Amino acid sequence: MFDYLIVGAGLYGAVFAQKAKSTGKRVLVIDKRSNIAGNIYTENIEGINFHKYGAHIFHTNNTEVWNYINQFSSFNRFTNSPVANYKGELYSLPFNMYTFNKIWGVVSPCEALEMIEKQKEEITGEPCNLEEQAISLVGRDIYEKLIKGYTEKQWGRACKDLPAFIIKRLPVRFTFDNNYFNALYQGIPIGGYTKLVENLLDGIEVRLNQDYLINKAEYDALADKVIFTGAIDEYFDYCLGNLEYRSIRFENEILDTSNFQGNAVVNYTDMETPWTRIIEHKWFEFGKDEYGNDIPKTIISREYSTEWKPGDEAYYPVNDEKNSKLYQRYKELAEKEKYVIFGGRLGEYKYYDMDAVIASALSLSKLELE
């Protein structure tokens, strides 16, 4: 008999499992995949830590989270500075003086600010969708070239129909600073994310290839409480209808060249290019293998954003009004499940970054275990 059955060996489940075990609880972790680490899973191929379910760059302002996770891995000094490719023109991201200079030829912060002030006059009142929010942050020119196409490809919805908060994730700076994140701490775990999760799960029983929802009663009988980190609507057999997610199809290639695009992330922000971005995995670790040697080959992944349908992997919850309302109804059902706690990106239907997932698992463990 276990105190906790944790469904899902991703980051949320692994952090809670680690905390529970450290307070003497008996813990069992199960996952339907044949690997641990959920969507942060990495696999070493040709000396490169390949991010199989999409690139993950750890960043946080939360010192408690940073100190906690550093117990399980060291992090390198990677700083994300993606490049945007708009019909062959290259721009720096996030929006900063390099971007403003390239787009308008402006040289000083004052001139850049003036351009934006002028362009945002078309938005009067509080921005109420992503398009209005974007224009009021950076003006129409940047919206058209660097935001509209990318966002509509990524979400499969018009910018007018998307919530404003999504674009607020990106910094806008009047300095020459290409660091994508406003974070005190940033980096990639040395040795890969899978190793990090392996360390979190050290000494904990993990059973893979286990489909909880198919054998629910049997699994429930194993533990006093369940931490469920799968999709909340799937848990309830979609009885209120399904929540919408975005999924990603990856086209991966191993190339016999040492440098394909010169950067880990290149976003394709026009509408004509069908993929949203290309990841060149080796640059998350400066092109070196674990022994510090240059890697002769490279692995690239083209990402195609798709609407999720049952059976696909869910990546992004679509937190628009319709889905948020439906989620609230599922949440009410969830609250009635006395012995089940729902957590993580899918369990809470929330566009969580990794640090927020850890913070949330840590706060659950304080509530549950202290």
Report the catalytic residues: 169, 173, 246, 277, 303, 351, 353
Residues 166-205 that bind ligand UDP (CB under 6 A): 166-167, 169-170
Nearer to ligand UDP among residue 31 and residue 152 (C-beta): 152
137 belongs to the binding site for ligand UDP (CB under 6 A):
no
**Contacts with 277 (C-beta within 8 Å, 6 or more apart), sequence order:** 82, 265, 266, 267, 268, 302, 303
Q: Exactly one of 151, 186, 301, 365 binds ligand UDP (CB under 6 A); which one?
A: 151
Let me know how long the chain is. Answer: 370
Q: Which stretch binds ligand UDP (CB under 6 A): 41-49, 60-68, 147-155, 282-290?
A: 147-155
354 belongs to the binding site for ligand UDP (CB under 6 A):
no
150 belongs to the binding site for ligand UDP (CB under 6 A):
yes
Q: Among residues 170, 152, 154, 159, which one has the least CA distance to residue 127?
A: 159
Nearer to ligand UDP among residue 19 and residue 173 (C-beta): 173
269 belongs to the binding site for ligand UDP (CB under 6 A):
yes
Nearer to ligand UDP among residue 28 and residue 84 (C-beta): 84
Residue 124 has φ and ψ, to the nearest 5°, of -110, 140
Sheet holding 316-317, edge to edge: 89-92, 83-86, 265-268, 277-280, 298-307, 245-255, 316-317
Strands 316-317 and 245-255: antiparallel
Strands 83-86 and 265-268: parallel
Q: How many C-beta atoms lie closer than 10 Å to residue 182's C-beta?
A: 14
Q: How far is the CB of 162 from ligand UDP (least distance, A)?
A: 7
Q: How far is the CB of 170 from ligand UDP (least distance, A)?
A: 5
58 belongs to the binding site for ligand UDP (CB under 6 A):
no
84 belongs to the binding site for ligand UDP (CB under 6 A):
yes
Beta bridge partners of 172: 95
Q: Exactly one of 49, 267, 305, 360 binds ligand UDP (CB under 6 A); which one?
A: 267
Q: Looking at residue 46, what DSSP letter applies?
A: T
- Residues in touch with ligand UDP (CB under 6 A): 84, 93, 146-147, 150-151, 154, 166-167, 169-170, 267, 269
